[in-house]
Amino acid sequence: MDVVESLGKRVARLRNERGWTQERLAERLAVSRVAVSHIEMQLTVPGERTVVLLAGIFGMEPWQLVAHTDYPLAKRERLPAVTSRFTHAEHLQQLLDHDLRWLAAGYVRPGLWDEWHDRIAQALAECQDRHESQLLLEVAERVRDQIPRK
């Protein structure tokens, strides 16, 4: 197997490509910043659960995250083939994009914006992550921009 980079360096590279701090990645993983630092500096080998979460956060499958890295084969074999790639807020963002394309194609759906208002309000009420809340507020603003002015 060709090892192109260590898993820790890959995690650091992917985090940096997104402009995230270790703190922000740690919040999304529900671990300490020190734990992220230890992974990136190759002081610890993340468990399968952490690899699955990292893969989802980076929008890839677990096998893609560990491919051509030094991640141990025994752990690699226990990874699931797929993982969730979207948070709830990101999923709502994707659904809104779909609805906007649908409307741009000329379709009409009465009550759509009321449904979106309710969906976003519920998501905001349940959200406990500040980054997710910010994304939900951006989705809410996009919805408000679509509502016809009277």
Q: Would you report the helix, strand and coil content of the chain in percent, each value rounded to 5?
A: 65, 0, 35
How far apart CA 87 and CA 56 sit, in angstroms, is: 9
Mean pLDDT, to the nearest integer, of 58-76? 95
* CATH number, span 7-76: 1.10.260.40
pLDDT at 150: 59
pLDDT at 56: 93
Amino acid of residue 126: E
Q: What is the pLDDT of residues 82-136, one digit of tens each?
A: 998 888 898 999 999 999 999 999 998 899 999 999 999 999 999 988 888 999 9
Q: Please state the domain extents for the chain.
A: 7-76, 88-146
CA distance between the termini of the chain? 64
In this structure, how many other beta carbons lie within 10 angstroms of the beta carbon of residue 99?
18
3-state secondary structure of 66: helix
pLDDT at 147: 77
pLDDT at 3: 60
Mean of all residue pLDDT scores within the chain: 92
How far apart CA 138 and CA 109 sit, in angstroms, is: 22
